[in-house]
Structure 1
Amino acid sequence: MRRSGGMDLRRIEGKGETEAMKYEHMTEGIFLSRPNRFIAMVEAEGSQAKAHVKNTGRCRELLIPGTKVFLQKHSNPERKTKYSLIGVMKGDVMVNMDSQAPNHVVREWLEQGGIYQNPDLIAAERKYGGSRFDFYIEGDGKKAFVEVKGVTLEEEGIARFPDAPTERGVKHVKELMKCIEEGYEAYIIFVIQMKGTWRFEPNDKHHPEFGTALREAGQAGVHIQALDCKVGIDSLVIDQPVPVVLD
């Protein structure tokens, strides 16, 4: 078992496939309200309780009173919340909204040859310039910085990022362009934490500056990829690429 960020994880070994990330001690509940961005009130196991929301985004289209949610139950008596809110049903689609999860599944994907078929080094949280990127990777005679963004916003089958303005995201994109100038490869991976989307677009409505920066990055040679996920009540795994539309 691997522990990371307070999250109990197990790895399921797959032959030639990306490994699934597993949550333990899962239970179902009903979302009631969100007093602040860190806390949700839920009904679970016959009573109302507080749950830690592992996503500080708005998620207004997901967290609707009466919606079924999936909770990880914790036994640590020192925790302020008994549960963590991991997933939610949006219609008949299950959405993982754990903001820590994309980095975990991308790490597995990188190890399985997602970017370089034979990676020699995969380092997390590598600093470059004024930013700290999610991954630095070497393999196949190349070197690259990789930034990961989790996507939970879906509108009529289109996945979009961000769901709120992100100056930090704009900074990351611009720094990736500087990596290109200095001879590195650069990637930004959008992990769509659900199935059922048919394309990815920057969310110009909520943050046009991010969309502009992303288009400039694409023209500068930054690799922009979107990957959807198979989502289970207690699991998440990267599945298929989704077309990225910038025009």
Structure 2
Amino acid sequence: MKLPLPLMPATLIRRYKRFLADVRLETGEEVTATCPNTGTMLGLCSEGARVWLSRSDSPTRKYAHTWHLTERDDVGLVGIDTSLPNRIAQEAIEEGLLPELAGYGTLRREVKYGTNSRIDLLLEGEGRPPCYVEIKNVTLLRQPGLAEFPDCATARGTKHLAEMAEMVRAGHRAVMLYVIQNAGPTRFTLTPDLDPVYFKAFQAARKAGVEALAFTCHVSVDSIRLKSQVPVIDP
């Protein structure tokens, strides 16, 4: 998946109100950028961090710049934009790069299901049950080689797990797809220390038959694309 080009490097001054960040461009100019991530972004918003931004020329935008990547010395580039994993996953499925979700005739996005929810991707094919795919963005990298989710309490994520379990009980297939926007991790796990409620809901969903897949991504200043599957392990 191509990123808005060209991305420009900057230095993070501070992130605040979850959706905003003050940065210093290479020219020395200080600007406010939008931050498309509602999580805590642990380890990714330290003062002085190198970040990568796009710039829009739209006259209707209050803030022209958008923060897409953070660069860390230990892990390299990490994609922070939560709007991208759905597109990354869809592109991988359509290109046949995600065999676990291959063989379906149609793919639809944002289909209503459950209790006032929308599934990220609904895969359908003749002769097989519909496959509900819920996609989560993963950026938490606290230990070498380990990606974790979530980075803060997520009531919405917990609700999704319960609804996915209901889809399985109704005879459908349900898959939690965790997209790790970094190339380095070799394994993935949950964070009961940060959200014990989500962790318990995940365990219940897995027991009900909900599948869990985790994939790393190749991340560059030009594009982000699915790299390889990593095992989902118990914390």
Counterpart of 2:3 in 1: which secondary structure? strand
Q: By how many angstroms is 1:45 displaced?
A: 4.0
Instruction: Tell me, in whole angstroms, the C-alpha distance in 1 between the residues paired with 2:121 and 2:218.
Output: 22
Residue in 1 that maps onto 2:137: 150
Residue in 2 that maps onto 1:122: 107
Counterpart code for 1:170: T
Amino-acid identity (%): 32
Residue in 1 that maps onto 2:206: 218
| Counterpart among 164, 177, 191 of residue 165 in structure 2 | 177
Unaligned runs of 5+ in 1: 1-19
Residue in 2 that maps onto 1:32: 13
Q: Note if contact 1:52-1:85 (Cα within 8 Å) is conserved in structure 2.
A: yes
Instruction: Tell me, in whole angstroms, the C-alpha distance in 2 between the residues paired with 1:237 and 1:32.
Output: 28
Instruction: Give a deviation string over 1:70-103, Cα, whole Å, max 9, x none.
Output: 0001111221112100000122411000000100
| Counterpart among 152, 157, 161 of residue 149 in structure 2 | 161
Instruction: Tell me, in whole angstroms, the C-alpha distance in 2 between the residues paired with 1:116 and 1:203.
Output: 26
Unaligned runs of 5+ in 2: none
Bigger proportion of residues as strand: 1
Instruction: Tell me, in whole angstroms, the C-alpha distance in 2 between the residues paired with 1:22 and 1:56.
Output: 20
Instruction: Tell me, in whole angstroms, the C-alpha distance in 2 between the residues paired with 1:199 and 1:150.
Output: 15
Instruction: Give a deviation string over 1:114-160, Cα, whole Å, max 9, x none.
Output: 24433211010111121211011013632111100000001112111
Residue in 1 that maps onto 2:219: 231
| Counterpart among 33, 38, 53 of residue 71 in structure 1 | 53
Computed over aligned residues only, the root mean square deviation of the Cα atoms, in angstroms, reads 1.4
Instruction: Give a deviation string over 1:195-229, Cα, whole Å, max 9, x none.
Output: 11121111110101111111121122111000000
How many residues in Structure 1 have an aligned counterpart in Structure 2?
A: 228
Counterpart code for 2:136: K
Q: Normalization by structure 2: what TM-score?
A: 0.93
Q: Normalization by structure 1: what TM-score?
A: 0.88
| Counterpart among 6, 18, 22 of residue 41 in structure 1 | 22
- Are residue 91 (structure 1) and residue 84 (structure 2) matched? no
Q: By how many angstroms is 1:26 displaced?
A: 1.1
Counterpart of 1:119 in 2: which secondary structure? coil
Moved over 3 A (4+): none
Q: By how many angstroms is 1:190 displaced?
A: 0.3
